[in-house]
Chain A
């Protein structure tokens, strides 16, 4: 299984190093992504998991420099190298025209709720042709032929070229958006919650389609979602984000069976399983911190059942899980290991007083006990 030989990935296509993004607000900087390092290899599917506001979209858009003020990239580098580039390109130093060239042709994005992004008064054909001709030197006829091929690629009958978006189901619209992203034969596709608005049956079809395309076209995919159970099934590696920081990166197998970070452990015990024996569900009490004023040390501490005083001192750098032979399985928690027994009070059974600390992070005395 490819996912387990994560050390065998060879060529990085997108190498994010120490990237930080902040939103400038009157109340201070919101540090939406802090010192993120993540490498996407050729042909790999990385799943980026996290709750809303954890910074997963900010990270992806920041890496492509798609963010507008008040978002500011405060540091870091992102190097891209693909089939069509001779040497790695530093995205952070590109001029506007070069960026324009890179986007969509090298890195394409399927946006969140993309199915509503289609123009309601244009047919599928016109939208595909418009988009292609804006980026590629194609004649109208060539663009039309390409549009038809693209629909083939995502299993939509060619007759649908003449349809308007409202005549298509949600799943079909999402397929059209995926087709559009693939028009320029990109190296990397970033998918931001591509199936969140869809019903579960349609979702499964779209996901199977995406995985088939990945196989056929050799795409590298950064798949963003809040639903870690999806990622366990389809990603090669999973990066878990919390409060603007990566807290754990490992193969899907490692994340599922040997989760190291307490937040990952919490996420995994938060969703009910449909198949197999019923599991004990725990959930994660409390809510994420205010990123304008993050707590010192570990940002997960107020919600962590394992927390100790030492947690207020740590910087959340990723380091290899000390009990794992695989150095690519990294965690931001130096204390908890995959085998660490669950803390004395399970998060789900924390007294009501701590649960009530939804707004203000719980005081450390309660957590440290």
Chain B
């Protein structure tokens, strides 16, 4: 059913990567199994941005690791350029890695402190692009650094990570990912370690790279507000499952799923001046707000204000709500009657 949903990222360009029914279980010993990711499907399009939003432990990073080929799938399929991905040989794996690159959250940990910027870029350039002449490699490194706006490149090639600011380190990490000339970039919380004033610049750099290099971008974040500005489509995950997906502006302005509604309501909102927070009411009463995911039924049922018996017994499947939106909830008629009626305020959606 989910495959009928039209991704808001689709209008940006051709399909690059498609994942269907991704599932990952981790065995914890003593017969216990952690369902880290359950039946997640998503499509990435050239030039489009899909945001995967969720709290820590929601499985969003595991999805990225599955897509990057760093974890074995328990079940599900991934295809790249319409071809199903199987990585039986080193060569196939290397080819796949050239097309699908990942950027991590912590630029302090993802660069090797004993190597220079040049070293970090030289290896992927030689490995993925097969350039051997030293001059060619040097030119390529220069153009990579220019792409991530570390100019003039000669000022940076000889530097060690500790000589760079956090933002510059993350730029080097971007450049390293681009060295493989990927079509898909998986960015796992790429700005959350950076200072507020620098975050925006990094996002606009990513946005610029997406446009110029026609990257299919998966933007993983806990910050749904940044996803609103930056992504075409948002997929909200909770406890390893997709709770809701839809076009970024529509989903954030008219969330359908009770969990998305909670996320949106919890985000700091300066315009709620004189809010309940300032008056000091509303804590404690929401003891359930931090409850762990329910073991049976809908995982959100333990925290959901609308949960009823059915929610605790049966896990709802993701069902199409409008052409481009879907939500996994039994109680959508109560949670989001306006979205169901298809009148999710098109007038409010500004662009």
B309 adjacent to chain A (CB < 8 Å):
no
For the complex, give the distance between the alpha carbons of A232 and B278 in Å: 10
Q: Chain A's nearest CB lies how many Å from the CB of B221?
A: 11
Q: How far is the CB of A367 from chain B (nearest CB, A)?
A: 16
* Dominant SS among interface residues on chain A: helix
**Which residues on the B side are within 8 Å of A199 (C-beta)?**
55-56, 222
Q: Which residues of A contact B167 (CB under 8 A)?
A: 287, 358
Contact of A356 among B152, B196, B274 (CB under 8 A): B152
Instruction: List B residues 149-163 near A (Cβ within 8 Å).
Output: 149-152, 155, 163
The complex places the Cα of A352 from the Cα of B148 at a distance, in Å, of 10
Contact with A along B54-89 (1 / 0, CB 8 A): 011000000000000000000000000000000000
Chain B residues, CB < 8 A from A352: 149, 151
- CA A234 to CA B283, docked complex, whole Å: 14
Q: Tell me which of A204, A230, A284 contacts B197 (CB under 8 A).
A: A284
| Contact A209 to B283, CB < 8 A, known contacts A273-B225, A287-B165, A358-B165 | yes
Contacting pair B149 A266 (CB below 8 A): no
Contacts of A272 in B (CB 8 A): 200, 225-226, 228-230
B58 to chain A, nearest CB (A): 9
Count of chain A residues with a beta carbon within 8 Å of a chain B beta carbon: 59
Q: How far is the CA of A278 from the CA of B281 in the complex (A)?
A: 29
Which residues 325-351 in B have Cβ within 8 Å of A in the complex? 350-351
Complex Cα spacing A199 to B266, Å: 10
Q: B220 to nearest A CB, angstroms?
A: 15
Chain A to chain B contacts (Cβ below 8 Å), 30 pairs: A1-B274, A51-B196, A200-B55, A201-B262, A201-B290, A203-B266, A204-B266, A204-B277, A205-B283, A211-B277, A212-B283, A227-B268, A232-B270, A233-B273, A253-B273, A256-B273, A270-B196, A270-B199, A274-B269, A275-B264, A275-B269, A275-B271, A278-B228, A278-B249, A278-B350, A283-B200, A283-B201, A348-B204, A356-B150, A358-B164
Q: Which residues of B contact A (CB under 8 A)?
A: 55-56, 149-152, 155, 163-165, 167-168, 195-201, 204, 222, 224-226, 228-230, 249, 252, 262-284, 286-287, 289-290, 292, 350-351
Q: Would you list the 5 A-B pairs with minimal beta carbon distance, nearest first? A: A283-B200, A208-B283, A232-B270, A211-B280, A284-B197
Known: A51-B197, A201-B263. 6 other contacts (CB 8 A): A200-B55, A208-B283, A272-B200, A356-B150, A358-B150, A359-B165
